[in-house]
Structure 1
Amino acid sequence: MERSLIVGRARNTNKWSRRIKVFAAALLTAGCLQLPAYAAESDGQTIRVAMFANLGSTYKSTTSLITLESTGKWSIGSDSGANLSIPAGQIRFSADGYRVKVLETTDFQTASAAAKRLQATADTPLLFTTTVNGKETYQLYTGNYATAAQAGQAVARVQNTAAAQLGGQKPVVTGSKRLTTGTYSSLEEAQAAQATLLSAGITAYPVLQLGANASGYAVWVGEASTDAELAALKTTVDAQAPGLSLSTVNDGQPGLIIRTDAGLSLDALKTAAHYTMAGTNAKALVQGDGSGIKVAERSQRTYRGDMEVSIVNGDLALVNVVPLEQYLYSVVGAEVYSSWPAEALKAQAVAARSYALQQGDRFKIANVVDTTLSQAYNGMGSENDKVNSAVDATAGEVVKSGGKIVEAVFSSNAGGQTAHPSEVWNGAEGVFNTVDSSGDVAAQAGLHTWYHVLLSSGVSGYIREDNVKELSSQTNAGLSKVTVTAQNTNVRPIPMIQSNVNPVAKMNPGNEAVVLAKVPESNTYSWVRGPFTSAQLVKTLQGKTTSSVPSAISTLEVTKRGPSGRALEVSANGQAMTVKYADTYRSALGGLPSTLFDIAGTGSYTVLGADGVQASKTGANGAAVLSASGTGTSSGNALVVMSGDGTARAVTQGQTFMFIGQGNGHGLGLSQWGAKGMADEGYDYQAILKHYYQNATIVKE
């Protein structure tokens, strides 16, 4: 639910273009070339959402294949004005580059078996089909590979993996050096020329030319990886298909190589159009019929708007070009619960709209990304009538301050008090300041209570209340005892179920444990994390602090706090572990939900002497429960320390660290749970927004 703040970057307040060119709505006949493709500008604001892109340190999410699906007719177009209409169904995109051609066969089962064997390796298979002299022929490749050398290294691996299916064929490296036979006015003409070349044993593909200075279709010949191979190819083509006028495809010339993919199902032949993006800055726009476009590699989600496929820094990039208000239908539905009050949904809609519009061209090819690095965006699946109504009711409204749209960041739960900018990005107060967010506590309503227990073995952990039976007996110090109601009941390290974390112990009915405390299940308002060992913390701190990290940590404490109580400085062994921005402590300390936390060393405790002097004690070599009155009683092989108010905790043999905190996220700006709490109390969305964004107004743009 949280917007990940990238701090220290320049804030771009320049307005980004709110209109983009779109393709003509009418679907065209298959293979027909139409000019111009860009018929009109969209009437409303649009936003560009990156799903896959290699933008270096700014954003990197890559995929070797993009699979799109539409239930209606759709089209692919380019900057040159070319537009290719395609039928309903699936289409696939890949990037051109170095590959290994594994084999070519007319037997689908042979090709399928080889592809299946390669699926279990790092050499990703691609299976194509084409018709040669009336016979269906299957071509199996692996890749892409970043360099010819890497492809060359893959040849031996591939040959060994698929040895049983090769039938004497030798895998070879292929590349993107090609010849062209010229330009054709229709796809049919290009396909006829391709068929002639294929019948002569020459590899050829029809291509939709994408460059602004090129139009129409072409036939590209070969897939050489070196200039020498390309020269040899030309000699071969001249001999086997005399009369063709051949020229070299310029390096970087953008085109869409049109092939047929036979790899959608390796158990039965199932084909789809496959488009390989070739050349520098290749770009194509896929426009649907309005029913939505499904993206298989994004968890089969379906999205409104159009999809732009391109090559950026050598990798496939996918950008969803969608009307802003429709984008917000998904964002608000993904960020908060649709069951929340309408005023809370409206507040989220205005904040999300403001954030999106303020981003400018932050991601170069896009304004935002579809993850919480920007805002959660899950396509049409997260839409809801109630959410859509909240977006529509606030259409065009944004948060502004000083005449500029506010980068209206928000987080899931502020833990009762929002953060001060100094606690997040070292900034001064203004629009963002520390304000009460008491509604955040609602996040733990209805959750289970957990028992913090100490076993006779000295192990301590947590058991959920519905697995516990309280006993009538108590320890001499007055602590309750419990047993469990089922065999092999898990005792967990923190009060929540973590499927990827092993329990610290198991209990059976009849086994007894001492109750140290009752706590709420960890949630976005109140949470526990750990225990972390010294080695784990040393590892997570390295590279994230501006100071040296000790080789071992015996003590860890918050030594400086900000206005809301969030950690500004954490010290290990008395040495400050300084970070560039205070919010970095969340990741530096093992992925904590917030920086509003306390630290408890499980192997140490502090005693206040009669003289008022505090003394730190370490270890658990005793076997006594120490009460405020000094009464002692046996409790296995762990030391339990009780405070004056009767709360207790176990001191372990070795030192580990538990983090007990509140809130989820950076805590700056709108708290989503806090907004719900205010809405429950009768506040409208404008009052909610003005509470969390100080000195701001709500304006309809």
Structure 2
Amino acid sequence: MPMATLRSALFASLAAIAVLPTFSPPASAQAAPTIRVGIAIARPQIRVGSSTPAIIRNEQGQQIGQLPTQQGSYAQPSANGQVQLGSFRARQIWLEPTNDGLVWIGDRWYRGRLQLILDQGAVTAINHVGLESYLYSVVGSEVYASWPTEALKAQAVAARSFVLYRRDRNRDPRFDVGNSTTWQVYKGIASEAPTTIAAVNATAGQVLTYNNRVIEAVFHASSGGHTENVEDVWSKPLPYLRGVQDYDQNAPVFNWSQSFSVQELSAKLTGVGRILQIEPLQTTPFGRIRDLRITGDRGSRVVKGDEVRRALNLRSSLFTVSSEASSNWFDFLRPNPAPQPPSQFTIIGRGYGHGLGLSQWGAYGLASQGVDYRRILSHFYQNTNLSPLGGVIAQNSSGGDLISAQD
């Protein structure tokens, strides 16, 4: 992108920022931990900028320059094994906006400051942002800002607990979490709203605990009527991730269906030739498919429900499969026509996500009935307490299997 075009894009974004209301986090939020979020990973170059004059530092914390307001620049690897930002080079580059300014990374504005590092011969951009400021965006990225306040508060506490659990068991030296559904969605200030900021501030520093330790507060969009016990979906039993009734009937993904031609299905679920039959072998107590058998004209194999979900890009593993045979008008002329192989498969399912922990549409349903966020959280996270972050026992890095927030 030409530099003039980059400057125009930054200027237009700054104009939009100018009309946003200003919010100051409460004192407890200002003292909150910092979260390292991987925004752009191993890119050949990354556009960066600042909404205010920004100090440029090297890996030793020494100031090596300044980036003027509205002057975007490209970060890229240099020939000598350093990161280059404009005319500045260092093993690491930090961009620190003055006066609580924002950083531009790729195509979005973010609170906090920016770290640029070399990564596999490319550049990775990491946003260092205060926990509560991070949540302003996460809540608005994960659910609708127009939802009832108590649903937004429940999402804020769940997201706060989840990111702290992941940070304390992090195995990646570069950053604590990414910005996608593998962790939890984080879109910068574009997804903030007065309602999401108010929900985060109202619950500042509150986390879900079991035995005085922060829990792995996973969540999903919609369970399709009932959440799951964690051991029936992924890992060992946990006393707080238990299956409970959901209240997500208003979710647009409560019911769904997808159809595939036999050619499409056979190309996505390979190894058996032309698919003739798909049959469930084992389900969870609440109906999610754990194992199923795929039979084709070249054999059969048993696969996991989640494997099929990923291969077909299904919303959940809570589904049934039906098939429709091909036919033509000659079949009606035969007294005993031979059975025809299927030409199409239809998958009918419910819900969106893994079905563990908080159901976001379930929280919406409960909040719409006047249930407060404390009761919403205690329903979806059984046997837990709502605790102040300052009184929680520090976690260690030797946790169990890590699972994604939503998938």
With normalisation by structure 1, the TM-score equals 0.47
**Equivalent-residue separation in structure 1 for 2:163 and 2:359 (angstroms):** 17
In structure 2, the residue matched to 1:284 is 93
Secondary structure of 1:436's counterpart equals coil
**Equivalent-residue separation in structure 1 for 2:306 and 2:225 (angstroms):** 17
**Equivalent-residue separation in structure 2 for 1:334 and 1:88 (angstroms):** 27
Offset from partner CA, 1:317-364 (integer Å, 9 cap, x none): 100000100000000011111111111100000000000001123432
In structure 1, the residue matched to 2:21 is none
In structure 1, the residue matched to 2:44 is 64
Contact 1:418 1:435 (C-alpha < 8 Å) held by counterparts: yes
Secondary structure of 2:173's counterpart equals coil
Gaps of 5+ in 2: 1-29, 334-338, 390-407
- Residue 692 in structure 1 maps to residue 389 in structure 2: no
In structure 2, the residue matched to 1:404 is 213
Opposite residue 59 of structure 2, the aligned amino acid is D
**Equivalent-residue separation in structure 2 for 1:351 and 1:584 (angstroms):** 27
- Residue 536 in structure 1 maps to residue 264 in structure 2: yes
Match of 2:123 among 316, 340, 343: 316
In structure 2, the residue matched to 1:85 is 66
Structure 1 residues 653 and 622: alpha-carbon distance in aligned structure 2, compared to 1, 3 A threshold: farther
Percent identical residues? 33
Opposite residue 536 of structure 1, the aligned amino acid is E
In structure 2, the residue matched to 1:484 is none
Opposite residue 47 of structure 2, the aligned amino acid is T
- Residue 592 in structure 1 maps to residue 349 in structure 2: no
**Equivalent-residue separation in structure 1 for 2:37 and 2:378 (angstroms):** 28
Match of 2:179 among 343, 366, 370: 370
Secondary structure of 2:125's counterpart equals strand
Secondary structure of 1:359's counterpart equals helix
- Residue 45 in structure 1 maps to residue 25 in structure 2: no
**Equivalent-residue separation in structure 1 for 2:73 and 2:286 (angstroms):** 51
**Equivalent-residue separation in structure 2 for 1:433 and 1:44 (angstroms):** 30
Structure 1 residues 422 and 620: alpha-carbon distance in aligned structure 2, compared to 1, 3 A threshold: farther
Report the CA distance between 1:397 and its aligned residue: 0.7
Computing the radius of gyration from Cα coordinates, the structure with the larger value is 1
Match of 1:293 among 100, 103, 107: 103
Match of 2:162 among 333, 355, 358: 355
Secondary structure of 2:248's counterpart equals helix
Report the CA distance between 1:81 and its aligned residue: 3.2
**Equivalent-residue separation in structure 1 for 2:33 and 2:282 (angstroms):** 45
More strand by share: 1
Report the CA distance between 1:619 and its aligned residue: 4.7
**Equivalent-residue separation in structure 1 for 2:273 and 2:331 (angstroms):** 31
In structure 2, the residue matched to 1:462 is none
**Alignment of structure 1 residues 532-681 onto 2, 5 Å:** 532-533=261-262, 535-542=263-270, 549-573=271-295, 575-579=300-304, 582-588=305-311, 590-603=312-325, 619=327, 654-681=342-369
Structure 1 residues 257 and 568: alpha-carbon distance in aligned structure 2, compared to 1, 3 A threshold: closer
Report the CA distance between 1:621 and its aligned residue: 5.4
Report the CA distance between 1:422 and its aligned residue: 3.4
Offset from partner CA, 1:113-163 (integer Å, 9 cap, x none): xxxxxxxxxxxxxxxxxxxxxxxxxxxxxxxxxxxxxxxxxxxxxxxxxxx
Structure 1 residues 318 and 622: alpha-carbon distance in aligned structure 2, compared to 1, 3 A threshold: same
In structure 2, the residue matched to 1:646 is none
**Alignment of structure 1 residues 204-283 onto 2, 5 Å:** 252=81, 254=82, 257=84, 274-275=86-87, 282-283=91-92
Report the CA distance between 1:656 and its aligned residue: 1.8
Contact 1:94 1:276 (C-alpha < 8 Å) held by counterparts: no
Structure 1 residues 351 and 257: alpha-carbon distance in aligned structure 2, compared to 1, 3 A threshold: closer
With normalisation by structure 2, the TM-score equals 0.79
Structure 1 residues 385 and 556: alpha-carbon distance in aligned structure 2, compared to 1, 3 A threshold: same
Secondary structure of 2:356's counterpart equals coil
Contact 2:115 2:127 (C-alpha < 8 Å) held by counterparts: yes
Structure 1 residues 87 and 526: alpha-carbon distance in aligned structure 2, compared to 1, 3 A threshold: same
Structure 1 residues 685 and 86: alpha-carbon distance in aligned structure 2, compared to 1, 3 A threshold: same
Report the CA distance between 1:86 and its aligned residue: 2.6
**Alignment of structure 1 residues 406-555 onto 2, 5 Å:** 406-437=215-246, 439-443=247-251, 523-533=252-262, 535-542=263-270, 549-555=271-277
**Equivalent-residue separation in structure 1 for 2:87 and 2:183 (angstroms):** 30
Offset from partner CA, 1:495-550 (integer Å, 9 cap, x none): xxxxxxxxxxxxxxxxxxxxxxxxxxxx41110112242x43343334xxxxxx31
Secondary structure of 1:369's counterpart equals coil
Offset from partner CA, 1:633-660 (integer Å, 9 cap, x none): x9xxxxxxxxxxxxxxxx9985221100
In structure 1, the residue matched to 2:112 is 305
In structure 1, the residue matched to 2:401 is none
- Residue 341 in structure 1 maps to residue 148 in structure 2: yes
Gaps of 5+ in 1: 1-41, 54-61, 98-175, 178-251, 259-273, 444-522, 543-548, 604-617, 625-633, 635-650
Offset from partner CA, 1:348-393 (integer Å, 9 cap, x none): 0000000000112343211110111111111111111111111111
Structure 1 residues 652 and 301: alpha-carbon distance in aligned structure 2, compared to 1, 3 A threshold: farther
**Equivalent-residue separation in structure 1 for 2:272 and 2:88 (angstroms):** 51
Structure 1 residues 597 and 621: alpha-carbon distance in aligned structure 2, compared to 1, 3 A threshold: farther
Where relative contact order (Cα < 8 A, 6+ residues apart) is larger, the structure is: 2
**Alignment of structure 1 residues 6-17 onto 2, 5 Å:** none
Contact 1:423 1:583 (C-alpha < 8 Å) held by counterparts: no
**Equivalent-residue separation in structure 2 for 1:379 and 1:78 (angstroms):** 24
Equivalent pairs, count? 348
**Equivalent-residue separation in structure 2 for 1:585 and 1:693 (angstroms):** 28
Secondary structure of 1:573's counterpart equals strand
More helix by share: 2
Structure 1 residues 257 and 585: alpha-carbon distance in aligned structure 2, compared to 1, 3 A threshold: closer
**Equivalent-residue separation in structure 2 for 1:665 and 1:527 (angstroms):** 13
Opposite residue 388 of structure 1, the aligned amino acid is I
Opposite residue 291 of structure 1, the aligned amino acid is G
**Equivalent-residue separation in structure 2 for 1:76 and 1:287 (angstroms):** 7
Report the CA distance between 1:576 and its aligned residue: 4.7
Contact 1:418 1:669 (C-alpha < 8 Å) held by counterparts: yes
**Alignment of structure 1 residues 154-233 onto 2, 5 Å:** 176=79
Contact 2:318 2:350 (C-alpha < 8 Å) held by counterparts: yes
Structure 1 residues 305 and 418: alpha-carbon distance in aligned structure 2, compared to 1, 3 A threshold: same
In structure 1, the residue matched to 2:136 is 329
Report the CA distance between 1:305 and its aligned residue: 0.5
Offset from partner CA, 1:446-496 (integer Å, 9 cap, x none): xxxxxxxxxxxxxxxxxxxxxxxxxxxxxxxxxxxxxxxxxxxxxxxxxxx
**Equivalent-residue separation in structure 1 for 2:274 and 2:101 (angstroms):** 58
Report the CA distance between 1:426 and its aligned residue: 4.2
Offset from partner CA, 1:21-41 (integer Å, 9 cap, x none): xxxxxxxxxxxxxxxxxxxxx
